[in-house]
Amino acid sequence: MNSVSVRALLVRGMLAGLVAGVLAMLVSYFLGESKVDAAIAIEEAGAHAAAAGHAHEHAEEVVSRALQSTAGLATGVVLYGVALGGIAALVFCFVLGRIGRFGARATAALVTAGAFVAVTLVPFFKYPANPPAVGDPDTAGKRTVLYLLMIALSVLLSAGAVILGRRLAPGLGNWNASVAAGVFFVAAISLAYAFLPAVNEVPADFPATLIWQFRLASLAIQATLWAAFGVVFGILAERVLEPAPAVPAGTSAGDSAATAA
């Protein structure tokens, strides 16, 4: 693939990421923000109860909650979508033609599905998202490192599984090689789950329903982001790699269709 095609696909990947980010932002606003507000209310109620009867100075918010849930949310999610779209487009350029004889849309769908599993689902099952008021502020750095480590392990093991499947395919056949690679991935991820430390800092009195709803909303946001990117980028990539045949000058579209028939 030449540099012009890579550049064109990178731009279209970022554009698809922009569209996906806008859709994910809407899902986040309508599904997730109410859960965040509920968690913040619980946190503030606990803080007020702890400070009852004691004079204390209330720290003024640097950024208002209204701004966080609108402009801040839109900026963060959309920029995240654009960056993710660019990275996914580069991965698409690398794997195109190396994982089988798939077209642009099918390759985009496979890359998107694999990225969703490796970057979102696998880390989520080990370290699920938690709303505000859940988690010790003193361990925030440690929890972030563990989450990023889980993502890195998942991505590396996914790449290893793909390589293993490709190498086993000539001897075992595509189906058996894919099964073997899948078993390897599940086994390796299970070991990572077992050896990485668990994090359980949910307060005993925190509503379990709210945590469950927040985590489902987080998963819905990520699913929307990846699904929208896969669909939009697949269409855009196909137009770059498989352009429609040009219609000769002086020939109408109807005449061209009739000739093709």
Q: How confident is the model at residue 249 (pLDDT cuts 50, 70, 90)?
A: low
Helix segments in the chain, DSSP class H: 3-27, 33-50, 65-67, 73-95, 104-115, 122-126, 140-172, 174-195, 208-241, 253-260
pLDDT in tens, 159-186: 898 888 888 888 888 788 889 989 999 9
pLDDT given for residue 102 in this prediction: 78
pLDDT given for residue 51 in this prediction: 53
Asked whether residue 65 carries a pLDDT value surpassing 70, the answer given is no
Asked whether residue 255 carries a pLDDT value surpassing 70, the answer given is no
Asked whether residue 128 carries a pLDDT value surpassing 50, the answer given is yes
Rg, Å, the chain Cα set: 23
pLDDT given for residue 241 in this prediction: 80
Take residue 103 and report the two structure tokens written for it: 């077209």
Whether the CA torsion 211, 213, 216, 217 is positive or negative: it is negative
Please tell me the distance from the alpha carbon of residue 71 to that of residue 85, in angstroms, as a whole number.
21
pLDDT given for residue 259 in this prediction: 47
Q: How confident is the model at residue 260 (pLDDT cuts 50, 70, 90)?
A: very low
Question: Structural domain boundaries of the chain?
Answer: 1-44+68-117+203-243, 135-201
Backbone dihedral angles phi then psi of residue 101, each to the nearest 5 degrees: -90, 70
Q: How confident is the model at residue 48 (pLDDT cuts 50, 70, 90)?
A: low
pLDDT given for residue 245 in this prediction: 59
